């Protein structure tokens, strides 16, 4: 004999599941980005993904023809990953590193490109991460990680590891909402170009630290 109460409970669960799936499809990457910000606020720089104008400005100085390995810290839902892959040569590689396993899982499912590698890990371990994939140096490293709110010692460790992993002539591309981030780069990079991008929410500082 069918239990009406059990049927009602199953119907309620099924309805809730359908609603979650509809919301997931509706909000898409933005919804995932917001959840990531709520879950790890000190590791995600902003609740709003970077604007197309900011992306073009940040990637402007990259010499794509000489790029074999491009690394990104904190890729989130891939706001920068897709434009990078559009410019990246066919024999080059993009390694995206994030401490948020949800973002990595999302990227692995959403980006189908043989040049793309998403790694669940820390930017402080960039040297061992790229070595595990057969690389000694990176040509460019991009980061939107909020240096000013990272746990003590993590920002300096990331800057130092990035300088070591870059080839001579390579660059550390950083976009931040506080100018203080430049201090982390200045300890390792003698030449730092900078700019400010208004067309973004919020507007932010851009830095390019070049390795001699």
Q: Walk along the chain (212 residues) and give the pLDDT tens digit of each residue.
A: 556 665 656 666 666 666 555 545 444 555 555 554 545 444 444 456 789 999 999 999 999 999 999 999 999 889 999 999 999 999 999 999 999 888 899 899 989 999 999 999 999 999 999 999 999 999 999 999 988 788 889 999 999 999 999 999 999 999 998 898 899 999 999 999 999 999 998 899 999 999 99
- Structural domain includes residue 38: no
pTM score of the predicted model = 0.80
Task: Extract the runs of DSSP E, i.e. beta strands, from 30-165.
Answer: 69-73, 93-98, 116-120, 138-143
For residue 94, the model assigns a pLDDT of 98
Write out the residue range of the structural domain in which residue 131 sits. 52-210
- Structural domain includes residue 187: yes
Say how far residue 177 (Cα) sits from the centre of its chain.
Answer: 15
For residue 25, the model assigns a pLDDT of 47
Closest C-alpha among 119, 125, 208, 121 to residue 165? 125
Quick: pLDDT tens for 106-124.
Answer: 899 989 999 999 999 999 9
- Structural domain includes residue 47: no
- Structural domain includes residue 3: no
- Structural domain includes residue 2: no
What CATH number corresponds to the domain at position 190?
3.40.50.150
Return the HEC string of 15-41: HHHHHHHHHHHHHHHHHHHHHHHHHCC
- Structural domain includes residue 25: no
131 contacts: CB under 8 Å, gap ≥ 6: none
3 state DSSP class of 138 = strand
- Structural domain includes residue 46: no
- Structural domain includes residue 107: yes
Q: Tokens 């003590």 correspond to what residue?
A: 152
For residue 141, the model assigns a pLDDT of 98
CA atoms of 154 and 66, how far apart (whole Å): 30
Q: Tokens 């990259």 correspond to what residue?
A: 62
For residue 11, the model assigns a pLDDT of 62
Closest C-alpha among 191, 107, 93, 98 to residue 139? 93
For residue 17, the model assigns a pLDDT of 64
How many domains are contained in the chain? 1
């Amino acid at each position: 004999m069918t239990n009406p109460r059990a049927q009602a409970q199953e119907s309620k669960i099924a309805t809730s599941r359908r609603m979650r799936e509809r919301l997931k499809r509706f909000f898409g990457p933005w919804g995932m980005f917001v959840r990531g910000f709520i879950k790890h606020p000190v590791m995600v720089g902003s609740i709003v993904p970077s604007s197309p104008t900011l992306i073009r400005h940040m990637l402007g100085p990259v010499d794509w023809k000489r790029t074999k390995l491009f690394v990104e810290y904190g890729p989130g839902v891939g706001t920068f990953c897709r434009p990078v892959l559009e410019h990246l040569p066919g024999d080059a590689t993009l390694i995206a590193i994030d401490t948020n396993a949800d973002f990595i899982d999302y990227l692995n499912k959403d980006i189908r490109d043989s040049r793309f590698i998403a790694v669940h890990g820390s930017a402080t371990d960039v040297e061992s991460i790229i070595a595990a994939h057969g690389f000694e140096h990176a040509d460019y490293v991009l980061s939107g990680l909020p240096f000013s709110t990272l746990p003590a010692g993590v920002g300096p460790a990331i800057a130092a590891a990035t300088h070591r992993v870059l080839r001579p002539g390579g660059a550390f591309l950083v976009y931040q909402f506080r100018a203080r981030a430049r201090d982390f780069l200045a300890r390792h990079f003698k030449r730092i170009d900078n700019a400010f991008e208004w067309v973004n929410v919020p507007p932010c500082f851009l830095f390019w630290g070049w390795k001699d």
